Amino acid sequence: MLKVILYAYMNNIYSCRRIESLLKRDIHFIYLAGYEQPDFITINRFRNRVKKEINNIFTQVVLVLAAKGLISLDVEYIDGTKIESKANKYTFVWKRTVEKNRAKLQEQIRTLLLQIDDVIAQDNAAKTEGVEFTAALLDEISEELNKSLESAPEPKTKEEKQAVRTKKKQLKELEKKRNKLQEYDQHLEIMGERNSYSKTDPDATFMHMKEDAMQNGQTKPGYNLQIATENQFITNFALYANRTDTLALPSFLESFNSRYHRYAKTVVADSGYGSEENYLFMDVH
């Protein structure tokens, strides 16, 4: 199965359904599969299970090239390219927007607590002045308010009944805002140091692609693929969510060392990789 997948990749064939079809009618695939005909689901499961092994085979092939004297692993010619994700381009989440809406939500929560006619709510609003609310803190406040509401005397007058209904409505609103705050925090956690991500492909970052058919500078979900070569052989590769090559370089050089237990003596790259941090990194290593 591994031979089939590697041969398919060599021929720019990545679809499991396409591989399944070729296993039935292409003599090369039939021979490599030993006349077995797994379906596309089996092929996909196998591919996901042996990702690490495929990467190890790549490393072993490069080491064979070095042993044959075709490469030295002393030089890295590095370049990057953007690869568009299959995620929908309208599934974006922008960090700046999330942070802006989250800040507004914090003020809305504080205002709501001050409006709730309850000592517990108003006390929490006062104590947290200048402090950010968290989903956990709002859970505690909601629990205390619910207990206070349950232990309150039975309302008798029309005004008292209306006050209870209003308080229950405000508690529901507080729970909604708590859920929204949790959603914003989740967005920020997924993004990490990035400025955006796609809801349908959380690992993808929105970036400008080299090919812009509309010529409107539209960003699309994608990845920054870094490749190192020597003597026209690929010696290292890695995918990054960083849009700029500058930020990817130190990690990429580390991945070369992790793969071959050595750093290349010479690194050749364009000016897009140049920064004080990167020069210092290379000087140390």
pLDDT of residue 165: 82
Q: How far is CA 121 from CA 134, 175, 176, 178, in A?
A: 15, 13, 16, 14
pLDDT of residue 62: 96
Q: How far is CA 75 from CA 67, 84, 230, 284, in A?
A: 15, 29, 6, 17
Using the predicted structure, report yes or no on whether residue 66 has a pLDDT greater than 60: yes
What average pLDDT does the structure give for the chain?
A: 88
Which of 94-103, 123-132, 153-162, 173-182 is least confident?
Answer: 123-132
Instruction: With beta carbons less than 8 A apart as the criterion, state whether 74 and 265 touch.
Output: yes
Which of 100-104, 118-122, 164-168, 216-220 is least confident?
Answer: 118-122
What whole-number distance in Å separates Cα of residue 68 and Cα of residue 31? 28
**Could you identify the residue written with the tokens 């990817």?**
248
What whole-number distance in Å separates Cα of residue 135 and Cα of residue 192? 19
Question: What is the per-residue pLDDT across 67-94, written as a single tens digit (0 to 9) for each?
Answer: 999 999 999 999 999 988 887 878 889 9
pLDDT of residue 123: 63
DSSP for 139-150 reads HHHHHHHHHHHH
pLDDT band of residue 155 (cuts 50, 70, 90) is confident
The more confident residue out of 164 and 25 is: 25
**What is the pTM for the complete model shown?**
0.71
Question: What is the per-residue pLDDT across 157-210, written as a single tens digit (0 to 9) for each?
Answer: 887 788 778 888 888 998 999 999 999 999 999 998 889 999 988 988 888 787
* Cα 138 to the center of its chain, rounded Å: 28
* Identity at 215, one-letter amino acid code: Q
Instruction: With beta carbons less than 8 A apart as the criterion, state whether 242 and 192 touch.
Output: no
pLDDT band of residue 104 (cuts 50, 70, 90) is very high
Using the predicted structure, report yes or no on whether residue 112 has a pLDDT greater than 80: yes
Using the predicted structure, report yes or no on whether residue 34 has a pLDDT greater than 80: yes
* Cα 18 to the center of its chain, rounded Å: 28
Dihedral, CA of residue 33, residue 34, residue 36 and residue 41, to nearest 10 = -20
Question: What is the per-residue pLDDT across 231-281, written as a single tens digit (0 to 9) for each?
Answer: 999 999 999 988 889 999 999 999 999 999 999 999 999 999 999 999 999
